[in-house]
Amino acid sequence: MPSLKKFLGQNFLNNPRILEMESRLASIEGQDIIEIGAGDGRLSRAILQKNPKSLILIEKDARFAELLEIGFSGDSRVAVKCMDFLDFKGSCDNVFGNVPYYISSKILFHLAAIRFKTAVIMLQKEFVDKIFAQEGTKEFGRLSMMAGLYFGVTRAFTVGRGNFMPMPKHDSAVIVLTRRKIKTDPVRDELINLLFQQKKKTIGNSVKLLLRHYEMESAYPQAAEKCLQKGIDFHQHFHKQTAAEILELAGILRKELKI
């Protein structure tokens, strides 16, 4: 097996029982499946035992992609793509992945941009804790809100760090994402991003930055008036707003400013 590259976050799960548990968390038989970061194919084999219609293995490391090509060359259900998952633009029924920790946020947000039913993803436990942070707590952030917006999220089980080779510094957790029927919206998503980047500033400050991005700064007074009519004061600090109010704000900006 090729040597593991730390900068790619390559830590392989070496407990067959946990691989089997993962593969049971979403429907596989007769389904089109994608696996993110297939590595040497150990989770892939557990998936194939459940007879998918097709299995696309996405692997960024060319050395492991070649290993997968050789290992599954006799299985017509398997297609290996040597690429970054962040460049993938297709669709599937379900997704599996023990993803590199260093790009967890990017992978989660990219999942929101593709069509699928269910995703079974293993992530660093501390990262998963942020996803499940409750509104109104200091831990609640952009990740918590975006995950809740686009997915129904279930925590499946925790995986101790001793189950990996090489052993990472932190435990992991497996979550199940169910894609909600909501489309990505650049205006809404960028507003959420700006608000959480500037949590100690006013809502109006983030709206100004958003309008500047769309070269519509002159529309600020109109936006402020429309939002105030809905009970959203641009002079208030962001941390006083609920998730529902943030989504309402985004909707008003989209409707009134036609951006």
pLDDT of residue 244: 86
* One domain for residues 58 and 135: yes
* pLDDT, position 240: 64
The separation between CA 108 and the C-alpha centre of its own chain, rounded to angstroms, equals: 1
Instruction: Verify that 92 and 192 share a domain, yes or no.
Output: no
Low-confidence ranges of the chain (pLDDT < 70): 1-10, 240
What local confidence, expressed as pLDDT, does residue 123 receive? 96
Domain assignment of residue 69, yes or no: yes
Give the contacts of 244 (CB within 8 A, at least 6 positions apart): none
Which domain-ending residue is among 153, 179, 205? 179
pLDDT for the residue numbered 10? 61
* Residue that is last in its domain, among 129, 158, 179: 179
Q: What are phi and psi of 176, to 5 degrees?
A: -120, 120
At residue 237, the pLDDT reads 83
> Would you state the pLDDT for residue 7?
42
Do 52 and 138 sit in the same domain of this protein? yes
Q: Tell me the C-alpha to C-alpha distance, in Å, between residue 80 and each of 54, 107, 111, 161.
A: 11, 19, 19, 28
42 and 123 both lie in a single domain: yes
Tokens, residue 58: 């996405």
Residue 177 near residue 192, CB atoms below 8 Å: no
Number of domains in the chain: 2
Which residues form the domain of 218? 186-257
Whether residue 114 is found in the same domain as residue 45: yes
CATH of the domain at 205: 1.10.8.100
Per-residue model confidence as pLDDT tens digits over 170-226: 999 999 999 999 888 888 999 999 999 988 889 999 999 999 988 998 999 999 998
CATH code for position 54: 3.40.50.150
Write the CA distances from 181 to 9, 33, 76, 95, integer angstroms.
32, 20, 32, 17
- Is 237 part of any domain? yes
C-alpha distances in Å from residue 213, one per residue of 186, 206, 210, 216, 236: 11, 11, 5, 8, 22
Residue 127 shares a structural domain with residue 194: no
Q: Are residues 30 and 106 in the same domain?
A: yes
Residue 245 located in a structural domain: yes
Q: Are residues 158 and 243 in the same domain?
A: no
Query: Is residue 25 one of the residues assigned to a domain?
Result: yes
Please say which residue of 179, 203, 227 terminates a domain: 179
Does residue 107 lie in a domain region? yes
Closest by CA position to 93, among listed 130, 67, 60, 54: 54
Alpha helices in the chain (DSSP H): 16-23, 42-48, 62-71, 104-111, 125-131, 142-150, 186-197, 203-213, 220-229, 243-257
Q: Do 57 and 165 belong together in one domain?
A: yes
In a domain, 131, yes or no: yes
- Domain annotation covers residue 165: yes
Quick one: which of 55, 20, 49, 52 has its CA closest to 36? Answer: 55
243 and 211, same domain (yes or no) = yes
117 shares its domain with 51 = yes
Same domain, 138 and 191: no
**Does 1 reside within a domain?**
no
